[in-house]
């Protein structure tokens, strides 16, 4: 049963990614920018290296993205009291507004696309996905 669940999950995820890309294009964010901004909003300012670590991607790729976001005024670099050279990346008001706009677009699409989904079913599916994620992370670390 889990194998069939994983196949269905993969197909659903591919569809979500396609819709997600169109939302990001409309909101002015790339997918990576949206992910970076989300991490910075939830965790607060952090270095490029820290952001790369929590995302599980290369520092170089995050640096390229941060440079572009600084130019677009979505983030700014601020002094880091713990390190003289490694600046902290902080979300600007403009970046926060753009993020909120992107979230609004996503919520509108979700509400239109899934009007009949019961909250209880969504909570059950969410718990299952979290359990799968935790189990696979533990298994991968062993």
Does position 84 have pLDDT exceeding 90, yes or no?
Answer: no
d(CA 40, CA 90): 7
65 close to 33: Cβ distance less than 8 angstroms: yes
Q: Calculate mean pLDDT across residues 46-65.
A: 95
Rounded to 5 degrees, φ, ψ at 108 are -65, -45
Stretch 112-131: mean pLDDT, rounded? Answer: 90
pLDDT of residue 61: 93
Query: What is the model's pLDDT at position 69?
Result: 95
Give which of 126, 122, 10 is closest to 134, Cα–Cα.
Answer: 126
Tell me what the pLDDT averaged over the chain comes to: 90
Percentage of residues of the chain with pLDDT beyond 90:
52
Whether residue 21 has pLDDT greater than 80: no
CATH number for the segment(s) 11-115: 1.10.10.10
Binned at pLDDT 50, 70 and 90, residue 41 comes out as very high
Tokens matching residue 113: 């696309």
Q: Check pLDDT > 80 for residue 26.
A: no
* pTM across the whole model: 0.76
Mean pLDDT value of segment 38-42: 96
3-state SS of the chain is: CHHHHHHHHHHHHHHHHHHHHHHHHHHCCCHHHHHHHHHHHHHCCECHHHHHHHHCCCHHHHHHHHHHHHHCCCEEEEEECCEEEEEEEEECHHHHHHHHHHHHHHHHHHHHHCCCCCHHHHHHHHHHHHHHHHHHHHHHHC
Domain residue ranges in the chain: 11-115
| Mean pLDDT score, 88-96 | 96
């Amino acid at each position: 049963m889990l194998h069939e669940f994983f196949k269905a999950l993969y197909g659903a995820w591919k569809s979500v990614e396609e819709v997600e890309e169109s939302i990001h294009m409309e909101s002015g964010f790339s997918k990576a920018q949206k992910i970076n901004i989300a991490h910075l909003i939830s965790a607060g300012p952090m270095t490029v290296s820290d952001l790369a670590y929590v995302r599980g991607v290369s520092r170089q790729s995050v640096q390229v993205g941060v440079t572009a976001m600084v130019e677009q005024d979505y983030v700014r670099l601020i002094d880091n009291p713990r390190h003289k050279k490694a600046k902290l990346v902080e979300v600007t008001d403009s970046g926060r507004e753009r993020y909120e706009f992107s979230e609004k677009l996503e919520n509108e699409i979700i509400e239109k696309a899934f009007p009949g989904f019961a909250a209880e079913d969504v909570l059950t599916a969410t718990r299952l996905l979290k359990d799968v994620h935790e189990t696979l992370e533990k298994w991968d670390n062993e």
